[in-house]
Amino acid sequence: MTLALTRRRFLAGTALATILPIPAVAQGKPVRIGLLTVKTGPLAQGGLQMEQGITRFLKDRNSTLAGRKVELVVGDTGGNPAGAKTKTQELVERDGVDFIFGPLAAFELLAITDYVAQAKVPIFSLAAAEDMTQRRPNPYFVRASGTSAQAMHPLADYAAKELKLKRVITISEDFAFGYEQMGGFQRVFEDAGGRVVKKLWPPIVTPDYTPYLAQIGGVDAVVQGFAGSNPLKFMKQCRDAGITLPVLGGSVACDDALLKSFGDEALGIVSCSGYTADLDTPSNKRLVDGMVRDYGNIPGIYAAGLYLSGLVAEAGLEKTGGKTDDKDGLIKALRAVSLTDTPRGPFHFDHFGNVVGTAYIRRCERKDGKLVNTTIKTYPNVSQFWTYDEKWFLAQPVYSRDYPPLKS
Amino acid sequence: MNLWLLLAVNSVTLGGLLFLLSAGFSLIFGLMRIPNLTHGSFFMLGAYLAVTLIRRGFDFWTAAVLGGLGVAVFGGLVERLLLRRLAGAELAQVLVTLGLSFMVADACLMVWTGDPIQIATPPALRGTAAVLGIGFPTYRLAISAIAVVFAAALWVLLDWTPLGAMIRAGVDDPAMARVAGIRVSRLFTIVFCLGAWLAGFAGVIGGPILSVYPGLDQEMLPLALVVVILGGSGSLVGSLVGSLVVGFLYNFGQAMFPELAYVVLFLPMLVVLVVRPQGLFGRPAA
């Protein structure tokens, strides 16, 4: 017996296929997500976690969103603007991706924002640059993680009102993310009656923080906004130098994924983040368990941020019936997404495409021998403008090294 | 007052660490004329190896010595298999060592992942010690002490042993040393391994302060370069003085003129390059 495909059999087969219920959304080619990540160099840690987050999400969904198969195309930017630009062009022009996830760093995002807006590709980035959703918005941008200052506003509120701190020194890297974080902290903290007496800006690459640590004193607390691996070095050197002041931290300064690398020096850090691994919702439990099973570590803001972006893309696709051709309809649908059960709790987007969601104040503790961030207060519906009027907020200069200025 | 004292002690600590790193760099450059841009990678690799050794149950000091040894073996292979073939071709050496440093960085990323790793301070050296009524982290003082011990040991090695005499002869005039019957090529391997060991060892004992993470290599390399350019290549005293100068410039520069931290660090290097290209303690090129 041969398995020759006769014309009759072929016709019968195709006829059968046409009468079988095919989902209306089924299109020939799969939905393509282009991931801009960093796999080498100092930013690699965050980049790898981003990839883990989105891979985890696609596994949870069996690589199918809104009835359509999904393909992930990964581009390594090398952590620099030129690489980001090249990879973005490749993803858009050669691979024809429908969404871009990433990049990690603000300077990468700034290098490609005009290009992706022109190409009309929806882009989900974790880069926190304020003006991307404020004074220089990109209509195709969606940010499920938040702006630099978005977690610092509630942290400052908590510091002034609940911790009753009066005077603090801030310290963060000498670049835009640091300025914006500390600017946000200062505005809210000083509006609540506190006072930032000094702002220290060590370069991003600082092997030894002692020259800065030596300038810390005469205050109630230290606010640090370090990123990457710098929080580890800073906290260790800070406690080694005998500084026992309370330490407050931004969203990545005491990131959940970093906890396994920390020692006792991290105990007591009060930090604020839009994502916390200890959030008790079914969907967060699934994310945390999956990450621990696949990668042996709990997710931090990078992995969770990409997982959340995946959720938003899925919800948007469901609204468009799986269609991605109408770019303006797609971005409209994405920005209208409002979810309740997610790893970061309920959230929606403002008209700039920036997330409005819960902010979690956590305290770092040791439980069963492990360091954990335990949520001690939640601020629901935190927007990038905090409680300020949007018009007033946008009329002010963007947070910078010298803005708001120190009060003399 | 306390601030200045604290900064001074920290300058000495950082200087000590830089001395261990740059002494090897300086010897290698002085003797072999190889601008070894993998030296930062040796530093990082040593620390990573020690991390694995400590996880396997070795104590800190054993891990430091063995981690250094691992790096020394690697350094020896690099010298024998690659750099030997490029003798005299400085541009090729720069490119090869630079390329190697990228490869080592990627290999480390694969093996030890991108997560920063903290090396625990040896238990006996935790806490602070009171000096002149001010508390200093004990471990930092210990690093300074280790650097002093190594400086003395290297001085004895170079100035009082036959091997040292041969190395000095090789630095001063390799051709003449060869004629005098010194096996300069074996000397090259020994010096390269020694330099690599020192860098690897420095990486481990720097670990409790700096921790280990991708990019550490590229942070340390420029500091070693500045030290060697300031102090002069091939000179032990030059490395020592250069390390201390950089330690002080770094600490006081960042405390007093944080905006100009890099200017304060690199400007003296520029001045030395212009006024005295061979460095403070180096000999003019023959």
With respect to residue A9, please indicate whether it lies within any of the assigned structural domains.
no
Q: With 70 as the cut, is the pLDDT of residue A350 above it?
A: yes
For chain B, the residue count is 286
Contact predicate A242/A218, CB 8 Å? no
pLDDT of A192 strictly over 50: yes
Of B262, B223, B258, B274, which Cα lies nearest the Cα of B14? B223
Looking at the complex, report in whole angstroms how far the Cα of residue A240 sits from the nearest Cα belonging to chain B.
6
Mutate to test the interface with B, among A173, A175, A229, A264 (most CBs of B within 10 A): A229
How many residue contacts between A and B have a Cβ separation below 8 Å?
108
Count Cβ atoms below 10 Å from residue B58 Cβ, excluding itself. Answer: 16
Specify whether A238 is located in the same domain as A167.
yes
Please check whether residues A367 and A318 belong to one and the same domain: no
- Mean pLDDT score, A381-392: 97
Sign, CA dihedral A219-A224-A230-A233, equals positive
Residue A109 has pLDDT above 50, yes or no: yes
More confident residue, A27 or A361: A361
The amino acid occupying position A10 is F
Contact at CB, A263 and B3, closer than 8 angstroms: no
Task: Say whether both A67 and A139 belong to one domain.
Answer: yes
Compute the distance between CA of residue A376 and CA of residue A363 in angstroms, rounded to an integer: 7
Chain B residues whose beta carbon lies within 8 Å of the beta carbon of residue A40: 105-106, 109, 214
CA B286, CA B176: separation in Å to the nearest integer?
13
How large is the average pLDDT for residues A172-184? 94
* Inter-chain touch B261–A203, beta carbons under 8 Å: yes
Answer yes or no: do A214 and B7 touch at CB < 8 A: yes
Pick from B4, B13, B128, B213 the residue to mutate for testing the A interface (most A CBs within 10 Å): B213
**Mean pLDDT on A188-215:** 90
CB atoms within 10 A of CB B258: 17
Ranges A16-25, A302-311, B199-208: which has the least confidence: A16-25
Give the nearest chain B residue to A230 (CA atoms).
B116
Centre a 10 Å sphere on the Cβ of residue B130 and count the other Cβ atoms it contains: 9
Give mean pLDDT, residues A56-79.
94
Q: Is residue A333 part of a domain?
A: yes
pLDDT value at A142 more than 70: yes
Backbone φ, ψ for residue B101 (5° rounding): -65, -35
Residue A21: per-residue pLDDT: 46
Separation of alpha carbons A25 and A68, rounded Å: 7
Q: Under an 8 A CB cutoff, do A240 and B250 touch?
A: no
Residues in chain A: 408
- Determine the pLDDT at residue A9: 53
Do A128 and A176 lie in a common domain?
Answer: no
Q: pLDDT tens digit string along A224-273?
A: 999 988 999 899 889 888 899 999 999 999 999 999 989 899 999 999 99
- The answer on A138 and A41 residing in a single domain is yes
SS3 A147: coil
In a domain, A222, yes or no: yes
pLDDT at A258: 92
CA distances (Å), origin A177, targets A308, A334, A351, A386: 21, 26, 22, 18
Model pLDDT for residues A124-135, shown as the tens digit of each residue: 999 999 999 999
Assess whether A162 and A201 both reside in one domain.
yes
Domain ranges of chain B: 2-214
Write out residues in chain B with pLDDT < 70, as ranges: 1-2, 131-135, 284-286
Global pTM? 0.82
Shortest distance between the Cα of A221 and any Cα of chain B, in A, equals 19
Claim to verify: residue A257 and residue A222 sit in the same structural domain: yes
The confidence score (pLDDT) of residue A27 equals: 53
Same domain assignment for residues A268 and A286: no
Q: Which of residues A356, A387, A403 is at a domain's end?
A: A356
* ipTM score: 0.70
Q: How confident is the model at residue A381 (pLDDT cuts 50, 70, 90)?
A: very high
Q: Are residue A235 and residue A334 in the same domain, yes or no?
A: no
- pLDDT band at residue A16 using 50, 70 and 90 as cut-offs: very low
Nearest to B219 by CA among A252, A236, A202, A199: A202
Of all residues in chain A, what percent are helix, strand and coil, respectively (each to 5)? 40, 20, 40
CA distances (Å), B11 to each of A51, A252, B254, in order?
40, 30, 11
CB contact under 8 A, B114 and A206: no
CATH of the domain at A200: 3.40.50.2300
Nearest CA in chain A to B105: A41
Mean pLDDT of A10-30: 53
Q: Are residues A273 and A137 in the same domain?
A: no
Q: How many domains does chain A have?
A: 2
pLDDT of residue A388 exceeding 60, the answer is yes
Report the residue from B14, B116, B253 with minimal CB separation from A229: B116
For B4, the closest chain A residue by CA position comes to A214
Contact A338, A85 (CB under 8 A): no
Mean pLDDT over A23-51 rounds to 81
* Nearest C-alpha neighbor of A199 from the set A399, A374, A392: A399
Classify residue A215: in a domain, yes or no: yes
Token duo for residue B271: 């001045």
Q: Residues of A at the B interface (Cβ-Cβ below 8 Å)?
A: 39-42, 44-48, 200-203, 205-208, 210-212, 214-215, 228-229, 232-233, 236-237, 240-242, 257-258, 260-263, 297
- Answer for the pair A275, A343: CB distance below 8 angstroms, yes or no: yes
Residue range(s) defining the domain that contains residue A263: 152-278+358-395
Is A45 close to B115, i.e. CB distance below 8 A? yes
Whether residues A384 and A253 share a domain: the answer is yes
Provide the terminal-to-terminal Cα distance of chain A, rounded to the nearest Å. 94
Same domain, A346 and A384: no
